[in-house]
């Protein structure tokens, strides 16, 4: 791993690292915030953040203001890129497919299957790297926004016991049922919807064993321009109710899909995870 940025930040340090990913078959960049406790060598829990469509590792670390809260709670923040990258990685001119739009799944279809294994990257390879290279404990939580909210929910639900808690801002909760998800899933996973259910939070909520339920927080802005067509918080709430899954779903009047919404409530999300990670 090679450090390519480092900035003092709220008493800790925001870093950006580049590393070769064996899983993805390309170089990847990842933002790592180390609170002062970690800089002193203390073992700290880790909160993973998955970003949305078109984002890189930069958006969350420059816009969310999460570092102030992570410093207060002594959490490491890890913010990876949203897809494999590079000239030899398959891509598409649309913003919602290919590079910048990995959807945190393992693709099975050509030309995507060669590199697009973001699920294995975020759930396995990346935590392994982080726990070897930084003073990180194995206490992990995961959060994300929009496509990354989908990614956080799906990753946590697919790996019982691996995360202490999960949260999402404005997540795509039912990708099998909305245009963004149907387009991506058809390309990455093929046309058989039976292959989609293991990558769909609403389906995974329905299938979850009660013993595996974990603390879950979802925040959604009511002025979000994507709410009705792409996000469908209502389907998530209905699935939780039906399954007896005690997720906390909050709606916020006036808030939209932007980082202004994330910044406004990221402090509560970090505190929510810290209570599970340090409690």
Interface residue list for a second copy (CB under 8 A): 7-11, 13-14, 62-63, 65, 67-68, 221, 223, 252-256, 258-261, 263-264
Closer to a second copy by CB, 198 or 251: give it.
251
The answer to whether residue 133 is catalytic is: no
Catalytic residue among 51, 83, 141, 146: 146
CB of 68 to a second copy, least distance (A): 7
DSSP characters for 226-277?
A: TIIIII-HHHHHHHHHHHT---EEEEETT--SSHHHHHHHHHHHHHHHHHHH
CB of 99 to a second copy, least distance (A): 23
Closer to a second copy by CB, 9 or 243: give it.
9
Tokens representing residue 219 in the block: 């925040």
Closer to a second copy by CB, 58 or 109: give it.
58
Counting Cα atoms < 13 Å in the Cβ hemisphere of 43 gives 8
CB of 239 to a second copy, least distance (A): 27
CB 82 within 8 A of CB 53: yes
The answer to whether residue 27 is catalytic is: no
The answer to whether residue 167 is catalytic is: no
Strands (E), the chain: 2-9, 12-21, 26-34, 44-50, 76-80, 136-145, 166-169, 216-221, 248-252
Closer to a second copy by CB, 22 or 253: give it.
253
As annotated, the active-site residues are 146, 224, 257
């Amino acid at each position: 791993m090679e450090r390519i940025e480092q900035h003092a930040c709220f008493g800790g340090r925001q870093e950006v690292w580049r590393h070769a990913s064996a899983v993805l078959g390309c170089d990847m960049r990842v933002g790592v915030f180390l609170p002062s406790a970690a800089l002193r060598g203390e073992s700290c829990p880790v909160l993973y953040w998955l970003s949305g469509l078109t984002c890189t590792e930069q958006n969350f670390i420059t816009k969310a203001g999460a570092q102030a809260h992570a410093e207060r709670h002594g959490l490491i923040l890890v913010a990876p890129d949203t897809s494999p990258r590079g000239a030899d990685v398959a891509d598409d001119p649309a913003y919602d497919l290919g590079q910048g739009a990995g959807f945190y799944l393992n693709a099975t279809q050509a030309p995507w299957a060669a590199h697009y294994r973001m699920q294995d990257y975020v759930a396995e390879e990346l935590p392994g790297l982080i726990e070897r290279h930084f003073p990180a404990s194995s206490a992990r939580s995961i959060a994300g926004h929009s496509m990354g909210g989908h990614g956080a929910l799906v990753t946590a639900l697919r790996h019982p016991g691996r995360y202490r808690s999960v949260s999402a801002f404005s997540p795509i909760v039912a990708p099998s049922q909305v245009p963004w998800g149907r387009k991506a899933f058809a390309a990455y996973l093929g046309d058989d919807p039976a292959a989609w259910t293991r990558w769909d939070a609403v389906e995974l909520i329905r299938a979850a064993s009660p013993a595996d339920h974990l603390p879950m927080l979802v925040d959604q802005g009511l002025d979000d321009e994507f709410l009705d067509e792409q996000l469908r918080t209502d389907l998530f709430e209905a699935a939780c109710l039906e399954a007896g899954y005690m997720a906390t779903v909050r709606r916020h009047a006036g808030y939209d899909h932007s980082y202004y919404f994330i910044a406004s409530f990221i402090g509560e999300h970090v505190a929510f995870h810290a209570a599970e990670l340090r409690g």
